[in-house]
Amino acid sequence: MQTELSMPASIRGNTSAYMDWVQMLTGAALIVFMWCHMLLVASVNLGTGVFDALAAFLEYTYMAQIGGPMIGVVFLVHFALAIRKIPVTSVQQKGMWNQARMLRHKDTWLWVVQAVTAMIILVMAGVHLWAILTNLPITTAKSAQRIQEGGWFWFYLVLLPMAELHVGIGFYRIGVKWGFVGRRGRKRFQMLEYAITGAFLAIGLVTLFTFATVSL
C-alpha cells in the first residue's frame, strides 16, 4: 500500500486539498454548533423553566444523546486535520513565534492565536463533553451545581474566551482563505468578526454568572 509520502506530488497535492476542504467544512459545522449551543445555554437568562424545557426537548428527541457524540467525532476529525499545520514541537513553535514577530502581519498573529487556543480547547472541550454526557439529563439544577462546586466556574471562565476566540478567528479565516471575502471587504468582515466574537463572549459571561447565582 502506498503511503501519502510515497505518492506522486500531484496525488499528494490532491489529497492535501481534499483534507483542507474537509477541515473547512468541519470547522464551519463547529462554528455553527458553537453559536447555536451558546444561544441555547443562554436561554437560562430568560428563566430556568425556559432552559429546562429546551433541555427536555433535546432529551426527548435524542438530540443530546446522539448529537453530543456526533459533535465529538466532528471535533476530533477537525483537530486531526488541523494538527497537520499546527507546530507541536518546541523547534516548530519557536519558528512560528519568530516568523510571526518578523512578519508583523495581523493575520499571521491571528493564526498563532488560533493554534494556541486549539491546543487548550482540545483538552478542556473534551473534559466538558465528558462531564455533560456522563450526567444526563441536562437540567438547570445540575448545570448550576457543577459551576458552583469544584472549581468549574474558573474552568469555564478560561474555556469561554478560548472557544470564542478560536471560533471567531476561524470564521474570519474561512471567509478570507476560501475566497468568500475579497481583499476590499476584508476589513469590514474582520470588524463583523470582532462584533460577533464580542457579543457571544458577553452572552457567555452573563450566562456563566447566571448559573453561578442560581439557588440550589
Q: What letters, b where the CB count within 10 A reaches 16 and e where it falls short, cover 59-76? A: eeeeebeeeeeebeebbe
Identify the residue whose cell numbers are 512560528: 96
Give the span between the Cα atoms of 165 and 155, in whole angstroms.
16
Tell me whether residue 105 is annotated as binding: no
Give the span between the Cα atoms of 14 and 43, in whole angstroms.
44
Of 95, 71, 84, 146, nearest in space to 118 by CA? 84
Examine residue 69 and say whether the peptide bond preceding it is cis (omega within 30 degrees of 0).
no
Q: Kindly write down the DSSP assignment for every residue of 121-173, as one continuous string.
A: HHHHHHHHHHHHHTSPSP-HHHHHHHHHSTTHHHHHHHHHHHHHHHHHHHHHH
Report CA dihedral (12, 16, 19, 20) to the nearest 10 degrees: -170
Give the span between the Cα atoms of 199 and 131, in whole angstroms.
26
Residues forming the annotated binding site? 37, 78, 128, 166
Residues forming the annotated binding site for heme b? 37, 78, 128, 166
